[in-house]
Amino acid sequence: MPRQKLTLFDLDNTLLTGDSDVLWCDFLIEQGILDRAEFSARNADMDARYKAGTVRVREFSEFYVGTLAGRSVDDWKPLRDEFLASEIIPRIPQAARELVRRHQDAGDLIAITTATNRFITELTARHLDVEHLIATDIEIIDGVVSGRTEGQLNMREGKVVRLHAWLASHGRTRSDFEITAYSDSINDLPLLLAVDLPIVVNPDEQLAQWALAGGHTVLNLR
């Protein structure tokens, strides 16, 4: 019997032209919520080390989740809505939308898997009509965001761990699926190595070299 097809999409710099975490910090700076002098340089440094594949996973995750600390979920709602409308939707290329739609029309099970936290990215997944989102989770206490992560971080090897946990939560296993994964980043190499069909999208230099050496498909969705 043929296995069901599961398609995994990275989000930032794959389906999105830009990085949600970086854009979120820039957005909060423009809103006067984060101090430009303090955060701009740190945001740029974190982004550069992520792209190089050298940033520590917990350092990366907690830096960006920390920007949410101290406000309630309800307090963040209008800002999240504005962020989606002004910063995210304009950066989703039509080619990316069409790619997602092709897999949906083919009947694939589809999930977005992203290192960016769920609080920022769940609206993006909803906008793309993707039901399943595997993302870094945040701690919320009495409706207020603590600024800390929760559980296994969904980055590098953590994406593979979270994939297996997500499948198990639906009563399925890796062997039930033929899995395709799309990503731009060398940070996602563990995930790409764990699937049947890795497809590289708008790759960083290291991932482009890996794709070339392995003869993998490379797409440009921009």
Other C-beta atoms lying within 10 Å of the C-beta of residue 41: 10
Q: Is 129 a catalytic residue?
A: no
- Please give the C-alpha separations between residue 47 and each of 52, 57, 95, in angstroms, as whole numbers: 9, 12, 25
* Per-residue 3-state assignment (H helix, E strand, C coil) for 171-197: CCCHHHEEEEEEECCHHHHHHHHHCCE
Q: How far apart are the first and last CA of the chain?
A: 37
Other C-beta atoms lying within 10 Å of the C-beta of residue 52: 13
Q: Is 108 a catalytic residue?
A: no
Instruction: Please give the positions annotated as active site.
Output: 10, 12
